[in-house]
Amino acid sequence: MLVFKSTASQKHVASSEVIRTLSDNYIERAIGVIYRPATERMSHYFDAKIAKQFDIIIHVDTTKALTPIGLYPSGVQQPQCCD
């Protein structure tokens, strides 16, 4: 977790160097857009300054798939997921 702005806890505050680096422009893709190849870059992406746009970033390196709730009727064996 990287904290960019002052909070009650200073435990995870990012270094000045990280904040400077993440204050540069990065390309961010908009959520919920309709895919149109002819205008993809122009209409779906915008410049973002991560450290200025967000107070905190949480990066998760490893995840596991979830089993949907209620997908199988009662008594039906659900397939086991990843370990």
The pLDDT tens digits for 32-75 are: 888 888 988 888 899 988 888 888 888 788 888 877 776 666 76
Which pLDDT band, with edges at 50, 70 and 90, does 8 fall under? low
pLDDT at residue 66 in the model:
78
- Residue 66, domain member (yes or no): no
- Residue 82, domain member (yes or no): no
- Residue 10, domain member (yes or no): yes
- Residue 70, domain member (yes or no): no
- Residue 36, domain member (yes or no): yes
- Residue 20, domain member (yes or no): yes
Domain total in the chain: 1
Rounded Cα distance, 20 and 50, in Å: 10
- Residue 69, domain member (yes or no): no
Q: Is-above-0.75 flag for pTM?
A: no
Q: Domain of 7?
A: 2-57
